[in-house]
Amino acid sequence: MFDTKIAIIVRDDLATWQKLNVTAFLMSGLTGANSDLIGAPYVDRDGNTHLPMSVQPVIVLTGAANVLTNIRNRARDRGVDTVAYIEEMFATGHDDVNRAVFAQHGPDAANTVGIALRAEKKIVDKITKGAKMHG
């Protein structure tokens, strides 16, 4: 049905609240960069309107720190845009500080705790090799 695949990969050693937090932030980055991901508003039986959601399914995967580093580098090598969240961002309070702390770290550091991408299905499968379905 879709030519592309959305994958969010979170590090396997995070606390549950961290996994959920990172997933939400990463998806917001993908939707912000891809306006075609957002569908029409939802209307319930009583006529109450609710905000729209992604039109495309999202898979959530997990992996060790080295798996996320490999995924981040594979995506970069293939020219696939990503949204990345690093461990140091848990200690910040807002977006400007997040950008500043993010700028202090390179892609080979083992501090990536989440990464998200949207690309052609086969490319996403190759990039995310080594990650497992989150369970």
Per-residue confidence band for 13, with pLDDT thresholds at 50, 70 and 90: very high
Percent pLDDT > 70 in the chain is 100
Q: Residue 20 domain-assigned?
A: yes
Q: Residue 135 domain-assigned?
A: no
Q: Is the pLDDT of residue 76 over 80?
A: yes
Q: Residue 43 domain-assigned?
A: yes
Q: Residue 125 domain-assigned?
A: yes
Q: What pLDDT shows up at residue 81? A: 97
Q: Which of 2-16, 63-77, 101-115 has the lowest mean pLDDT?
A: 101-115
Range of the domain at 25: 4-130
Q: Residue 45 domain-assigned?
A: yes
Q: Residue 105 domain-assigned?
A: yes
Alpha helices of the chain — where are they, by DSSP H? 16-33, 65-77, 95-102, 121-127
Per-residue confidence band for 29, with pLDDT thresholds at 50, 70 and 90: very high
How many domains does one find in the chain? 1
This prediction's pTM: 0.93
In sequence order, the 6+-apart residues with CB closer than 8 A to the CB of 133 are 59, 60, 61, 62
CATH of the domain at 10: 3.40.1490.10
Q: What is the mean pLDDT of the chain?
A: 95
Q: Which of 18-22, 48-52, 80-84, 109-113 has the lowest mean pLDDT?
A: 109-113
Q: Residue 74 domain-assigned?
A: yes
Q: Residue 65 domain-assigned?
A: yes
